[in-house]
Chains A and B, each alone.
Chain A
Amino acid sequence: MDTTIWATTAFTVLMGLLSTLVAMPLAMGVAWLLARRHFRGKPVVETVVTLPLVLPPVATGYLLLQMLGVSAPVGRLLDAIGVEVVFTWKAVVLAMVVMSLPLLVLTLRTGFEQIDRRYEQVAATLGASPWRVWITVTLPLARRSIVVAALLGFARALGEFGATIIVAGGIPGQTQTLAVALFTFIESGRDAEARDVLWVSLALAALAVLTVQLLRRREGQP
């Protein structure tokens, strides 16, 4: 197998891990708020978080590209502080975070909702602050959901294509992920390389999903 394919695999896995690390705390906070709090604007938050799941990924990528452009406030701010995102590895991570966020939030929200609220309430009556309740009761009881969400998010990030190619391009050795490489090889008629990338992608995705299934089986879920 071509050494560049291994380099692309390593880059994709690294980006997937980074995006999962970035997305998890954000997703845990949002999922907990949606599961446990009633607040004005909750349907708006739910809609915004779910949008990348139903929007064409290319549209999400284009939206990110518009937001990061110098004509948009976010883009101007990044430009002012000298941070370049578009067509860099940071754009790859950003696209992966945005595209995996709905899956993470949905999985984590279900996990938090399944925790009996009385445990958290009793902890509070024992003198535990909300932060302490979160660390010592909520998170340990939701640990399986957290691991499953992280694995699903990681698998989703590995397969991300539409948003990535728009916002990060597919620069070999710089921003090219496995999914983008597969597209490039197919388009240019390089079938042997395309097959190699396909097998690597299949193996990584199957490993992540199999681990999720094994964890769910241990929890007694179907």
Chain B
Amino acid sequence: MSALVCEVRLTQGRFTLEVSLESDARVLGLAGPSGSGKTSLLELLAGLRHPEQGRIVVAGTVLLDTAHGIAVPAFRRRVGYVPQDGALFPHMTVQANVMYGAVAVSDAGAPDRPQALPALEAVADALDITALLTRPITHLSGGERQRVALARALMARPQLLLLDEPLSGVDRARKLAILPYLRALRDRWHVPMVYVSHDADELALLADEVCLLEGGRVTPSGHRDSIPR
């Protein structure tokens, strides 16, 4: 069984997103022009939108099956979501942001979260944010915000992590500085990721497989080198 199975159909006005994909990739890259439905697809996987019909299975757990009336709410899916600018909570410090997921998970109880939570120190160290923990969010650069958002998502121990163009707002130098952290995330914590990006270089460095989304439809999965640069 594939780690990720996603067959969904969502209609928004005249636009229809119709995706059918299966993947075992550690990092599944998702490329495509603006308006092709990339963010909508991530929101469907995270449970933030609901398709007319579809089926989503992550690591053997059925998260959505409209035919059988199954729709696991977002807060029970264990699918982490990091939007473009990180969406850090502006009323909390960096540490409170990072710990938010861990506390919410602890509150929800352990049964559906069999793996122990990663230690804050280990995550902070891996993403190099230890020195930032006591700062307010307003004192962070674009790259630092993204690393904090990644740490926050990781602390909730997701079974799938969705990254929506996480490096689109940072310059090339910062991008090159952050990419190793993302690779560490992939290799150290073994969290499968769906990584949306316009940048073929980013996808080549991170993704095992790449899908192209155009006009709401996805082309068959292929090797990352198949993406035009």
Contacts and interface: CB of A to CB of B under 8 A. Distances in A.
Interface of A: 116, 118-119, 121-130, 132-133, 136-137, 140-141
A128 B104 contact: yes
Given A121-B81, A127-B101, A141 B90 contact: yes
A130 to B, nearest CB: 7
A140 B75 contact: no
Interface residues of B, number: 29
Contact of A125 (B74, B107, B108): B74
Interface string B156-179: 101000000000000000000000
In the A-B complex, the 6 residue pairs with the closest CB atoms? A126-B101, A127-B104, A124-B74, A128-B104, A125-B81, A118-B87
25 contacts: A121-B43, A121-B46, A122-B81, A122-B87, A123-B104, A124-B47, A124-B73, A125-B46, A125-B48, A125-B79, A126-B75, A126-B156, A127-B75, A127-B107, A127-B108, A128-B75, A128-B100, A128-B104, A128-B107, A129-B107, A129-B108, A132-B104, A132-B107, A136-B100, A140-B91
B42 to A, nearest CB: 10
B150 interface: no
A124 B79 CA distance: 10
B153 interface: yes
Interface string B69-89: 000011111111111000101
B127 interface: no
B152 interface: yes
A127 B83 contact: no
B211 interface: no
Contacts, number: 72
B180 to A, nearest CB: 24
Given A132-B104, A137-B89, A127 B48 contact: no
B94 interface: no
Contacts of B100: 123, 126, 128, 136
Interface string B131-165: 00000000000000000000011001010000000
Contacts of B46: 121, 125
B118 to A, nearest CB: 14
A121 B74 contact: yes
